[in-house]
Amino acid sequence: MLDIRHANQRGRAEHGWLSSRHTFSFASYHDPKQNGFSDLLVINDDRVAPAQGFGKHPHRDMEIFSYVLEGTLEHKDTMGTGSVIVPGDIQLMSAGTGVAHSEYNHSKTDPVHFMQIWIAPSKSGAAPRYQQRHFSAEDKRGVLRLVMSPDGADGSLELQQDARVYAGLFDGDETARLELGSERYAYVHVARGSVMVNGVEFSEGDGARVRDEKSLTFTQGHDAEVLVFDLRNIETSALWA
């Protein structure tokens, strides 16, 4: 079953320098029916004005990753990490026992469009760590490329949770199929463009909770970029029980 959440149903925040869309409850946007899905807690679709950004602020016990769609994002943190993230890069920060970071638009002239995503870790109190890796367009063209996993398989970043994240680019006749394990959930998010998922049309910003499906098939893409999350079959409320 695909439980679709359309782009225009997301929470919205406008701060002048920041235009953000929240798939799940976040900050001042709260919907009791949208408190994440399984271990996936946040999908924020952010557009930040030139030379603006999120000042230094703390996190703990959360897997946080940024996925840049357009522009450049500058990261700094209290682990001593400093980097500039470009399209194709994935940055993963495991906050663990505590870390503070800032994320700014690196450009003084062009906006940056990126997604920040939070996944609950499998245990609390781990040592903070930072990972960053580039996955080229060719790596993702017409396939679902594994970009995060619990064991760092196939050159993916190592995520501290029983979850796997795939990224894919689809256009025209390109087709990919992802087999889902028995009793697994999944979440699909279309970052841009449009694509058919199991015969259902998804447009930019659309997403879906996936339950009781054996596989996901992506077809008829039009400049589509997608993220797919393979997740434990628990409801988010179970995390806080």
The amino acid at residue 92 is L
Q: Extract the tokens encoding 205.
A: 């910003």
63 annotated among ligand-binding-site residues: no
CA atoms of 185 and 13, how far apart (whole Å): 29
106 among the known binding-site residues? no
**Amino acid code (one letter) for 146:** L
Q: How far, in Å, are 195, 209, 215, 223, 241 from residue 88 at the CA level?
A: 20, 25, 26, 15, 37
Q: What are the backbone angles phi and psi of residue 8, rounded to the nearest 5°?
A: -75, 0
Q: Residue 182 CA to chain centroid, in angstroms?
A: 23
Residue type, 205: G
222 is in an annotated binding site: no
Cα–Cα dist 223/237, whole Å: 35
101 is in an annotated binding site: yes
Binding residues for Fe cation: 57, 59, 101, 103
Binding residues: 57, 59, 101, 103
